[in-house]
């Protein structure tokens, strides 16, 4: 269980590093975040679409985020199913509280 918490915590920290810029122009940041992590594998196509939009708006800010975003995908894919499910529930609770993605 400790490993599961650590892996979720690591992903959350990585997402917090990229979310403000990556999701700032989306209508529903939580929905976009959930799209990335809803399946058993990180949705890299959706991630690249979000990143491409950011790179058009703010190219200098987008470049360093690409590496972090790719690491998030790799780390998510390595998580066990229980940890992935816990992460999804965390995002859903955050959304239900009306909190902003930061």
Instruction: Flag whether 73 is in a domain.
Output: yes
Q: What is the pTM of this model?
A: 0.87
Q: Is residue 69 part of a domain?
A: yes
Please check whether residue 77 lies inside any domain of the structure. Answer: yes
- pLDDT, tens digit (0-9, with 9 covering 90-100), for 20-65: 899 988 999 999 999 999 999 999 999 999 999 999 999 999 999 9
DSSP track, 8-59: HHHHHHHHHHHHHHHSTT-S-HHHHHHHHHSSSS--HHHHHHHHHHHHHH-H
Residue 98 confidence (pLDDT): 79
How many domains is the chain partitioned into structurally? 1
Residue 70 lies in a domain: yes
Over residues 73-102, the pLDDT tens digits come to 999 999 999 999 999 999 999 888 876 665
What pLDDT score was predicted for residue 99? 67
Domain containing residue 20: 2-96
In a domain, 102, yes or no: no
Whether residue 48 is contained in a domain is answered as yes
pLDDT value at residue 101: 66
């Amino acid at each position: 269980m400790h490993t599961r918490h650590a892996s979720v915590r690591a992903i959350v920290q990585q997402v917090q590093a990229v979310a403000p810029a990556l999701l700032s122009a989306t209508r529903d940041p939580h929905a976009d975040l959930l799209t990335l992590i809803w399946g058993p594998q990180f949705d890299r196509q959706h991630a690249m679409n979000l990143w491409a939009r950011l790179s058009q708006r703010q190219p200098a800010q987008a470049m360093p985020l690409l590496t972090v975003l790719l690491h998030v995908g790799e780390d998510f894919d390595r998580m066990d199913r229980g940890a992935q499910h816990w992460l999804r529930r965390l995002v859903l609770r955050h959304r239900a509280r009306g909190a902003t993605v930061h």
